[in-house]
Amino acid sequence: MTHLTMTDIARAAGVSLTTVGRVVRKSGYVSEEKRVAVERVIRETGYVPNRIARGLKSNRMNLIGHITVLNPNMLYEQISKSLNDAASREGFQTLTYTVDWERVSLEIVLDELIGHRVDGIVITSHPRLDEELLHKVITRAIPLVMIERTLALEGTDRIVVADYEGAFQAVDHLISRGHDNIAYAGKIPDHEVEKRRLEGYRQALNNAGISSGESLVYLTDNYGVEEGRQAAEVLLELNPRPTAVFMTSDLFICGFLQVCYERKLRIPEDISLVGYDNTLSMMLSPPITSIRLELSTLGGRAMDLLKTRKDNPGLPSREVQSGTALVERESVKRINYEGRG
């Protein structure tokens, strides 16, 4: 049994194609009588309008393309979900592609998205964007929003996470609890995101008049549990041992915690920890204080940017900040004037 068409419904209900159309999309005048008749036929046959045909007329399928990078982190899946929800609230569907870092794969995916005549494109945290790659999108005036790892580009919009503020908050919190020997474990600052985080750490220390020795900064080239372990191996050997560590990913926290567990170091008695991204921290033992990213509102904000730009393609490039907030849990010790972990 194949799909019925509006013509089939029209025939069955004894009305014209147009009338069926009017009933289906609830527009225009239809007499009560015919409307009821058509609705009955639709209900009985289970007719569902063909969106492809509809899309061909209007050249719009009400689709938003979302491109995400392959990542073990739950972060990006949360962003996906937030975008899906926001989109569907406005009658859009999301076409999600997960790509690796290769230039070609992004290129292919963009072509597919354009082929689908999406009404907007969201690219989350792709680290290797360049203008040429996005040229096709721009010239077609397809609204484009980049999230987290972005590229400043005319005619496009960006949502960047307040990483500087987030890192600052984390370290400032530690300082306010009496810590002054605070280590940093993060990714090598080869991208704006990582630079901002490291800068937030340094500035918080500076503001408090605390000098940060370079040995306190442990840099790795990947976000992962194993890297967190390595950070612990190094940082815990420091003499004097830092009383606190700020790590720029909850994934690092997991690894760090494993080493502490092996060495029977207690959190926060022996060392205080603050994480970042707030994805895993609430599930760990003990629950870890972490920096929450405002992910749930991200989708809505992306949709807003997309819509306003569609209505007004000439808008200058906009950048909006996504906030961060410290979520206090049980991993930070309060140190007195005397005390030292």
Partner DNA sequence: CTGAAAGCGCTAACAC
Partner DNA sequence: GTGTTAGCGCTTTCAG
DSSP 3-state of 285: coil
Cβ at position 2, least distance to DNA in Å: 8
Length of the chain equals: 341
| Contact string (CB under 8 A) for its own copies, positions 155-194, x = contact | ----------------------------------------
Cβ at position 207, least distance to its own copies in Å: 33
Q: Is 254 in the site for its own copies (CB under 8 A)?
A: yes
Tokens representing 221 are 């080239």
The residue from 12, 15, 87, 231 that contacts DNA (CB under 7 A) is 15
Tokens representing 226 are 């194993």
Cβ at position 188, least distance to its own copies in Å: 22
| Nearer to DNA (CB atom), residue 44 or residue 190 | 44
Which stretch, 94-102, 154-162, 167-175, 183-191, contacts its own copies (CB under 8 A)? 94-102
Specify the amino acid at residue 80. Answer: S
Tokens representing 162 are 């307040």
Write down the residue that tokens 């000439």 correspond to.
314
Cβ at position 311, least distance to DNA in Å: 17
| Nearer to DNA (CB atom), residue 35 or residue 202 | 35
Tell me the C-alpha distance between 89 and 280, whole Å: 28
| Residue 241 site contact among its own copies, DNA, none (CB < 5 to 8 Å, cut-off depends on kind) | none
Tokens representing 108 are 């292919």
Question: Do residues 212 and 276 make contact, with C-beta atoms less than 8 angstroms apart?
Answer: no
The residue from 262, 317, 318, 323 that contacts its own copies (CB under 8 A) is 262
Please, what is the Cα angle at 83 between 109 and 140, to 5 degrees? 45
- HSE of 240, CA atoms in CB hemisphere, 13 A: 10
Please, what is the Cα angle at 311 between 305 and 316, to 5 degrees? 60
| DSSP states along 103-144 | HHHHHHHHHHHHHTT-SEEEEES-TT--HHHHHHHHHTT--E
Cis, peptide link before residue 240, omega less than 30° from 0: yes
| Residue 7 site contact among DNA, its own copies, none (CB < 5 to 8 Å, cut-off depends on kind) | DNA
Tokens representing 35 are 């409307």
Cβ at position 187, least distance to DNA in Å: 43
Tell me the C-alpha distance between 256 and 188, whole Å: 18
| Contact string (CB under 8 A) for its own copies, positions 3-32, x = contact | x-----------------------------
| Residue 6 site contact among DNA, its own copies, none (CB < 5 to 8 Å, cut-off depends on kind) | DNA
Cβ at position 15, least distance to DNA in Å: 4
Q: Is 140 in the site for its own copies (CB under 8 A)?
A: yes
What DSSP element (H or E) covers 21? Answer: helix 17-24
| Nearer to DNA (CB atom), residue 53 or residue 283 | 53
Question: Do residues 134 and 107 make contact, with C-beta atoms less than 8 angstroms apart?
Answer: no
Q: Is 207 in the site for DNA (CB under 7 A)?
A: no
| Residue 19 site contact among DNA, its own copies, none (CB < 5 to 8 Å, cut-off depends on kind) | DNA
What is the footprint of DNA within residues 32-71 (CB under 7 A)? 33-35, 49-50, 53-54, 56-59
Query: Would you tell me which residues interact with DNA (CB under 7 A)?
Result: 3, 5-7, 15-19, 21-22, 24-25, 27-31, 33-35, 49-50, 53-54, 56-59
